[in-house]
Amino acid sequence: MKLFVSKIDRRAQRTRDALRSAFVQLVLSRGYDVVSIGDICNTANVGRSTFYSHYKSKQNLLEESLQGPSGGLAACVAADATPQGLLPLLAHFREQKRVNRVFFETPIRGIWVRTLACVIEARLPRGSRSGLKALLVAELQIALLTHWLSGKFSLQPEAVAAMLITNTQTLLANK
């Protein structure tokens, strides 16, 4: 019985991976607004009912896709966060900035801010959780990355990482 359950989990994971991969590919090539669930299903080679058995909507799929980079940014909340820990994520953003610029534009940017805020809030100690503070931190982080990646400010990744950590912890420290 246990073997059967893990087999289903692997199959479901492969389907979710295929949907996420198709979604990201389509968003990067066409833009978020024009990609439909039908497009995602066709590219992933799955049926619509399969899509809906895994995701409620295109936005739900986007939010799950943003969990990885959001987790990396939310790590700035930790007291022991170091700039070196953020450098791989920042290097990825910088290397992919032409392709991934869509993630820093409307409407994805706003969805990413809200997703990141939820991840940040979940990492805060129970007594000090604040949705508003988490949202402010998320806005600050995404804004800093957006301006850095635009090339308007020539900062080294180490400086951006230090700013992310310092600003995050400063905002969260204020009562």
Query: What does the block give as tokens for 5?
Result: 């359950």
Answer yes or no: do 34 and 72 share one domain.
no
Answer yes or no: do 89 and 145 share one domain.
yes
Query: What does the block give as tokens for 92?
Result: 């990825």
Answer yes or no: do 91 and 115 share one domain.
yes
Answer yes or no: do 94 and 49 share one domain.
no
- Residue 47 belongs to domain spanning: 2-58
State CA 33 to chain mean position distance.
18
pLDDT tens digits for range 126-162: 887 888 999 999 999 999 999 999 888 889 999 999 9
CATH number at residue 14: 1.10.10.60
Mean per-residue pLDDT for 2-30?
82
Pair 91, 157: CB distance under 8 Å: yes
Answer yes or no: do 90 and 157 share one domain.
yes
Answer yes or no: do 17 and 90 share one domain.
no
Tell me how many domains the chain contains.
2
Whole-number percent of the chain with pLDDT over 90: 77
Q: Where are the alpha helices (DSSP H) in 75-156?
A: 83-95, 97-100, 108-123, 131-149
Give the Cα separation of 101 and 78 in Å (integer): 27
